Amino acid sequence: MILTVTLNTALDITYRVRALRPHASHRVSEVTERPGGKGLNVARVLAALGHEVTVTGFTGGATGRVVQERLTGVPGVVDALLPVSGATRRTIAVVDERTGDTTQLNEPGPTVTPDEWSAFQEAYDDLLASASVVALCGSLPPGVPVGAYAGLIRSAKAAEVPVLLDTSGEALRRGVAARPDIIKPNADELAELTGSHEPLRATQDARRRGARTVVASLGEAGLLAVTPEGRWQATPPTRLHGNPTGAGDAAVAGLLSGLVEKLPWPDRLTRATALSAATVVSPTAGEFDRATYEEFLNRVAVTAEVTAA
């Protein structure tokens, strides 16, 4: 079982408008809602790939009930979310149909009490007993200690469960020090962590800070992986136009599925890049078309420099 942790779950709401203009009234042409937060997005892609996934984290209030109701309709995903007294946040995406650009509005999330955090830690330790890998994803809601991911990484390592960390800012800095197996920052998050805007130098520095493997999302340049076995870069098959919402989460799902299937790193990166690209070009934010994914899978280019990284 793959376990994904989303401490700050959300109800993702997407509005489509003909053209987004500041200070104007807009007629919405389409509204979609789905369970959100990075770990839930990852789980949905993993389930589409045929993997069994358990999701945990926090949910609360009327919005949280909608999130859980929507999860029941996702085959292969098991809901192990814990209740909190506050209300689950909403994220609002407004898609400009004319340009394809997306404007994102993210609420902060509910305040988690110390008792709620303690209950989560106990539940998490129980779930680790049957997990083959765990992904810790996204932002921390108010009330959760900034070093939360570092503690969860140490628990996973004590249970001998590989752990992937996908977060940013101080939560990433502290999490890296706990020595996760994989981190998956984007270029800006990696630069904030290391102070370097040169991707290869920054990924190597992140490994020195504690991450065993660093897989950096470089936008149109694809994925750069620096591992104990070597370095690889995977690039998408074409210049992509579309909505990048959820593309990073699709890449994480590709990496996790490749890990549990024991694929070599070039194949993991090929899958992650193809999934990410298929998500960008999908008309529905955060989703991917299977045929498009399989087409891209055969066209991703992977270059290698196998060294003692």
Residues 40, 45, 48, 49, CA torsion sign: negative
Phi-psi region of 235 (alpha: psi -120 to 50; beta: other; left: phi over 0): beta
Sequence-ordered list of residues with C-beta below 8 angstroms from that of 114, at least 6 positions apart, any chain: 143
pLDDT tens, residue by residue, 120-161? 999 999 999 999 999 999 999 999 999 999 999 999 999 999
pLDDT tens, residue by residue, 234-283? 998 877 766 677 889 999 999 999 999 999 999 999 999 999 988 887 76
Burial of 9 (0-12, 13-18, 19+ CB in 10 A): buried
pLDDT tens, residue by residue, 175-217? 999 999 999 999 999 999 999 999 999 999 999 999 999 999 9
Rounded CA-CA distance 88/109 in Å is 6
Sequence-ordered list of residues with C-beta below 8 angstroms from that of 305, at least 6 positions apart, any chain: 230, 231, 232
- Compute the average pLDDT of residues 217-239: 89
> Quick one: pLDDT at residue 243?
67
> Quick one: pLDDT at residue 293?
84
> Quick one: pLDDT at residue 291?
80
- Are 37 and 94 spatial neighbours (Cβ–Cβ below 8 Å)? no
Q: Place 97 in a pLDDT band, splitting at 50, 70 and 90.
A: confident
Q: ∠ at Cα 281 (277, 285), nearest 5°?
A: 100
- Say how many residues make up the chain: 309
> Quick one: pLDDT at residue 221?
86
Give CA 227 to chain center in angstroms.
19
Kindly list the catalytic residues.
Answer: 249
> Quick one: pLDDT at residue 304?
85
Rounded CA-CA distance 294/252 in Å is 17
> Quick one: pLDDT at residue 212?
97
Structure token pair of residue 279: 């998500």
> Quick one: pLDDT at residue 206?
96
Highest-pLDDT range among 84-98, 100-114, 137-151:
137-151
Rounded CA-CA distance 168/170 in Å is 7
- Compute the average pLDDT of residues 5-32: 93
Rounded CA-CA distance 291/25 in Å is 38
Highest-pLDDT range among 23-32, 57-66, 288-297:
57-66
Output the average pLDDT for the chain: 92
> Quick one: pLDDT at residue 309?
42
Structure token pair of residue 143: 């009330």
Is the model more confident about 296 or about 114? Answer: 114
